[in-house]
Structure 1
């Protein structure tokens, strides 16, 4: 009988789904609390992303009998980031195109107010706002969100894979599924 190795996709998909639900809850919590779209408090939403990436790697390590190579840890973190990025991009598009299209104008107004508070000349503000309007479209925001999530996930996965790495002792067999008897014995 073949020994089946656990798949890194299962925990990655599970935690990405939990992560996107958490992101949706945080998004609406911030909206209902009337927190400025450009507020630094919104950086809190990165904490669950990092926590769920770590939980993905830990769960996969547990499925592998408590051992995880650096490559396996990175692969699991990358898969989580890709799945999370795709799900978050879909939500971003739906949110800004259908659910809360007025939020784009709120973000732009907040950005313009911040530029005015810095005493920038009006022509520079107009140029900056003109560029911002070009990129503040639901489709573009979703694509940049996907790319940003994957890049951030890769960086974090490189770090956390080193933390969760636990090499199997060299003379121990790699039996990932102890419930299946080895037919070669």
Structure 2
């Protein structure tokens, strides 16, 4: 005797794939922070591709569990939850990395940024002001908030587009 399959919900799929995506993102971020000196490398855009892939896989799983159907709103909810969960994991990792693993990382990045501003010919007063503002947003617990908000916003925008392609609405008169 077969037990009926429990239908999956958008939140269960979103959390599951958010945790998986968060793990992959942490590994990618750790490798990038450890081995690449310049944070302005084009490889940083690979994280967006990883996010898109995670959302597409979550949509695919949801559709497989729901007879191939997924409404646009469900896809948007799944993508937003995936990005929120992975963003929280990424934000916590970022805080831990900058605070405990490599506390001098941000100082190196700030120095690199300062030298780039000087090369562009910016006045010293303007550079000092920019460095002061940057330091406020990249130290302490606030350094955890911006990756979370950034991942949530980016994931929502990506989900708006991806959901339009992956949706398969259930027919109304079925």
Q: Same fold (TM over 0.5)?
A: yes
Mapping 1:1-150, distance limit 5 Å:
4-150=6-152
Q: Which whole-Å CA distance do the structure 1 matches of 2:48 and 2:172 have between them?
A: 37
Structure whose CA Rg is larger: 1
Q: Which whole-Å CA distance do the structure 2 matches of 1:73 and 1:55 have between them?
A: 11
The CA deviation at 1:45 is: 1.7
The answer to whether the 8 A contact 2:91-2:148 is kept is yes
The answer to whether the 8 A contact 1:37-1:106 is kept is no
- Structure 2, unmatched stretches of 5+, are none
| Cα deviation 1:83-113 (Å, max 9, x = unaligned) | 1121111111111111221111122112112
The count of aligned residue pairs is 171
The answer to whether 1:166 aligns with 2:143 is no
Q: Runs of at least 4 residues of structure 1 off by over 4 A? A: none
The answer to whether the 8 A contact 1:57-1:73 is kept is yes
More helix by share: 2
The answer to whether the 8 A contact 1:96-1:103 is kept is yes
TM normalised by structure 2 equals 0.89
TM normalised by structure 1 equals 0.84
Q: Which whole-Å CA distance do the structure 2 matches of 1:155 and 1:16 have between them?
A: 16
The answer to whether the 8 A contact 1:92-1:138 is kept is no
The answer to whether the 8 A contact 2:22-2:85 is kept is no
